[in-house]
């Protein structure tokens, strides 16, 4: 029996695929290759190219493979782009999940793992997000992912499938250069690129109500995130899980702290540009990780230094 990983040629999906293969699980991948890269697919793993919102591709996969569970990563993930292309985000992130779930249930699949995001919380009072907090996404991206969670919950509650949504915080680093995030749209790759090119990195806002005035986030290494998936599917084989679990370190880091760690690693000293705040940036967003510890025994292990040194560009 195999795990079907949608988006398995993407940055996070490929880390999960490699981790599962090295732990003796069988994997097949569905990816549209719009952002995914063939070279990230582990050797010996079948890659099906197709749109996750198309029933045809699932019919083909389920007729050719024996699938124990689906790990659904395929999604569009830019907050900014989601505000410009809301219909496309809904089609892929919400209806795509509905299609995958319907097809999975029709073919007797037992487990469905959905990737979700800290963006479902929106602005959290106190800056620490607990799964029981009220969700209040402030972007189209966040709301399409929250709707996907709700669709999965309705299937799970009806008893047709077991599942969980994993809410990632800020995923960074890579296990090898080949699997790195090539999108250069988040703080780690952007700032590392700038520092390596001896350019001044930017800090978006330095008067937030935080210790040093810059935003605080919960940065988690992608290999820790991949390990959490293995724990989640093994837990689901034995039992059910809560609807959603936060996947982070439980510790917040400011933008200045991240830039300091990068400069220490690179042995450089750069000027830092203070730029205006980005619209919609919460001052602080940190995961409460108690539930993932309780139900999965998951604790992120990789340090900030490792996150920095494995941000390959
Ligand atoms: C981190 C912090 C910036 C660049 C987004 C999505 C989230 C998830 C991850 C997909 C912020 C600051 C950044 C720079 C800076 N996406 N910053 N200078 O916005 O926390 O999260 O990506 O699943 O859902 O919302 O991540 O890396 O863009 O920013 O000061 O050059 O770094 O303001 O405080 P973000 P990010």
The predicted pLDDT at position 305 comes to 98
Tokens of 48: 């099906």
Over residues 48-74, the mean pLDDT reads 95
Which pLDDT does position 87 carry in this prediction? 97
| Ligand 1 atom 8: residue of nearest CA | 170
Atom of ligand 1 nearest to the CA of 282: 34
Residue nearest to atom 27 of ligand 1 (CA): 186
Distances from the Cα of 218 to the Cαs of 160, 230, 303, in angstroms?
34, 21, 12
Residue 280 has pLDDT above 90, yes or no: no
| Ligand 1 atom having least distance to the Cα of 201 | 31
Cβ of residue 217 lying under 6 Å from some atom of ligand 1: yes
Q: Is the CB of 309 under 6 A from ligand 1?
A: no
pLDDT band at 52 (very low <50, low <70, confident <90, very high): confident
Cα(187) to centroid(ligand 1), Å: 6
Ligand 1: which of 172, 255, 277 to mutate, judged by most atoms within 8 Å of the beta carbon?
255
pLDDT band at 279 (very low <50, low <70, confident <90, very high): confident
Kindly give the distance from the C-alpha atom of residue 204 to the centroid of ligand 1, in angstroms, as a whole number: 10
48 pLDDT band (50/70/90 cuts)?
Answer: very high
Mean local confidence (pLDDT), 253-268 = 98
Residue 74 contacts by C-beta under 8 Å, 6 or more apart in sequence? 6, 7, 10, 13, 30, 31, 32, 52, 92, 96
Taking all residues of the chain, what is their mean pLDDT, rounded to a whole number? 96
Model confidence at 135: pLDDT above 90: yes
**What's the predicted TM-score (pTM) here?**
0.97
Could you tell me what percent of the chain has a pLDDT over 90?
96
For 152-197, how does the pLDDT look when each residue is reduced to its tens digit (9 = 90+)? 999 999 999 999 999 999 999 999 999 999 998 999 999 999 999 9
Specify the ligand 1 atom closest to the Cα of 142. Answer: 24
Distance (Å) from CA 13 to ligand 1 centroid: 20
């Amino acid at each position: 029996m195999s795990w079907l990983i949608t988006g398995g040629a993407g940055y996070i999906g490929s880390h999960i695929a490699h981790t599962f293969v090295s732990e003796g699980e069988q994997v097949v991948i569905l990816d549209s290759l719009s952002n995914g890269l063939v070279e990230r697919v582990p050797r010996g793993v079948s890659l099906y190219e197709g749109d996750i919102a198309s029933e045809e591709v699932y019919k083909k996969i389920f007729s050719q493979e024996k699938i124990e569970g689906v790990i659904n990563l395929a999604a569009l993930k830019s907050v900014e782009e989601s505000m410009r292309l809301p219909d496309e985000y809904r089609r892929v992130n919400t209806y795509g999940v509905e299609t995958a779930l319907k097809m999975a249930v029709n073919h007797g699949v037992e487990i469905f793992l959905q990737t979700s995001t800290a963006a479902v919380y929106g602005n959290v009072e106190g800056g620490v997000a607990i799964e029981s907090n009220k969700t209040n996404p402030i972007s189209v991206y966040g709301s399409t992912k929250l709707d996907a969670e709700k669709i999965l919950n309705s299937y799970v509650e009806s008893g047709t499938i077991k599942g969980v949504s994993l809410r990632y915080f800020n995923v960074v680093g890579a296990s090898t250069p080949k699997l790195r995030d090539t999108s250069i749209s988040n703080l780690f790759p952007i700032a590392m690129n700038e520092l390596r090119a001896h350019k001044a990195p930017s800090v978006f806002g330095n008067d937030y109500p935080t210790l040093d005035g810059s935003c605080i986030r919960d940065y988690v290494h992608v290999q820790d995130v991949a390990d959490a998936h293995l724990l989640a599917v093994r837990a689901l084989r034995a039992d059910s899980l809560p609807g959603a679990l936060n996947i982070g370190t439980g510790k917040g880091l400011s933008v200045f702290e991240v830039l300091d760690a990068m400069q220490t690693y690179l042995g450089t000293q750069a000027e830092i540009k203070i730029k205006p705040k980005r619209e919609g940036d919460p001052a602080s967003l940190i995961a409460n990780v108690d539930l993932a510890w309780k139900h999965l025994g998951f604790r992120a292990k990789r340090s900030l230094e490792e996150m920095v040194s494995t941000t390959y560009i």
